[in-house]
Amino acid sequence: MNQETERAPSQEQSAEELREILQIRRNKLSQLQAEGRDPFREVRYDRTHHTRDITEHFDEMENQTVSLAGRIMSKRDMGKASFCDLQDQDGRIQLYVKVDELGAEEYERFKHFDIGDIVGVRGYVFRTRRGEISVHVNEITLLSKSLRPLPEKYHGLKDVDTRYRQRYVDLIVNPEVRDTFVKRSLAIREIRAFMDARGYIEVETPVLNTVQGGATARPFVTHHNALNLDMYLRIATELHLKRLIVGGFEKVYEIGRIFRNEGMDTRHNPEFTTIELYEAYTDINGMMELTESLFRHLAVTVTGGTELPYGDKVIDLGKPFERLTMTEALRKYADIDFDQVETFEQAKALAEKHHIKVEPKHGKGDILSLLFEEYCEDKLIQPTFIISHPIEISPLAKKDPQNPALTQRFELFMNGWEMANAFGELNDPIDQRERFENQMRLRALGDDEASEMDEDFLTALEYGMPPTGGCGIGVDRLVMILTNSPSIRDVLLFPTMKPQD
């Protein structure tokens, strides 16, 4: 067999060098197959331990015989002995492979193994003279041949676009990436544990819908051939979950994928994960308590504390979250007193003064929201509940009894991002129909993010829905904060990418 050089191709190496390496590896596979040693015929390997079992419990395991399996990440040939690093899902451990243990023929075969090959090993645990915990190998089996070299050790997989496209390679060569997704899994598990402990029931609702609703967003449209019907991928789970409250469930939640046909940036991906939860006989105050408690619980269980470093900031989830109305935030951060604005004309003049573009679909409340977005959102670094949203931007929230131009709603902001959105849910079917009708007027004006009329949901409300609090939380952004990840793509295993030419 031809022996591939130890150094895998870096960005500086030519395509011709890569082709040569690929051919050498295929030649090795062909030789193995000709010898009746095809590694792809292996169907099972019985392991007794993972690498972490040994590294964390060495004192109890010294001299114990173990079986491990994983990927060769480095090789160092010392003549009649070799060292290599084996990596499994838990970490790495050094292997010591000696010709006297394997025999000359098997040792020669081992020397032709490549970095990236997957092997099973059997041997005993020991510590080298240099103090490194290792496995002295007396049996090694090639379980899968790697036909493509891993990125070169010192250059690594640095190109961000390639890392997202080839997440499988990213996970192999960048252990911290695997840690991020372990924490994501833990966070979702802890969300479920928290909700279940509070008596909530996890449910599943349709991904394909015939009506666009539950949020203000542009949907993906698909076509069902058997029904000859255009359908939407859901932009929210809200309206189906509220139907369940009508049906008699008092506490429900769903963790699921949402799809919005909108822009992409460090905080937005066309498909993302949310948890939406609804509880009968409570209001936004109950939702604020639950949301604050959930975020604090996740900080402790996932990271071990309530102070979360994010970039050059530290976000403190241990202190009570601040509460501000939208107009209080505007006064605090922009010195704008919107409470003195009485008419749409005054609001429009204020917007023009502050270079805010007003469109025909906008009302007074929309202008308040636009000013808040421009001057306040990026200032809300520490956890802050923003309450009392205008009715124009809250078509599914109850009116504020003290001011019907506002609603019983909050958004939780952190690091300048919206992290949660909650309502005292609108349960008046007459009022809800009027809100839907207004949304339809906005659609007629060209707003394709406005909700459609959902007659079945209105029918459900007519049967009676109790006073209800509801909240939606973006799981991906939450995991970004918990893992100090700068982009949503860093917490999605397979983010949406434009196909390469």
- Residue 458: CB atoms within 10 A of its CB come to 14
H or E stretch covering 323: strand 322-325
H or E stretch covering 177: helix 175-197
**How would you label 472-499 residue by residue, b for 16+ Cβ within 10 Å and e otherwise?**
bbbbbbbbbbbbebeebbbbbeebeeee
- Per the document, the length of the chain is 501
Determine the 3-state secondary structure of 78 from DSSP.
coil
Half-sphere exposure of 94 (CA within 13 A, CB side): 12
Question: Which residues make up each annotated binding site?
Answer: 411, 418
CB 283 within 8 A of CB 408: yes
CB 170 within 8 A of CB 45: no
CA 413, chain centre distance (Å): 18
Question: Which residues make up each annotated binding site for Mg(2+)?
Answer: 411, 418
Give the DSSP letter string of 248-276. T-SEEEEEEEEE-----BTTB-SEEEEEE
Residue 341 tokens read as 């604005």
Closest by CA to 467, choosing from 419, 408, 421, is 408
Angstrom distances, CA of residue 374 to CA of 96, 120, 136: 61, 58, 63
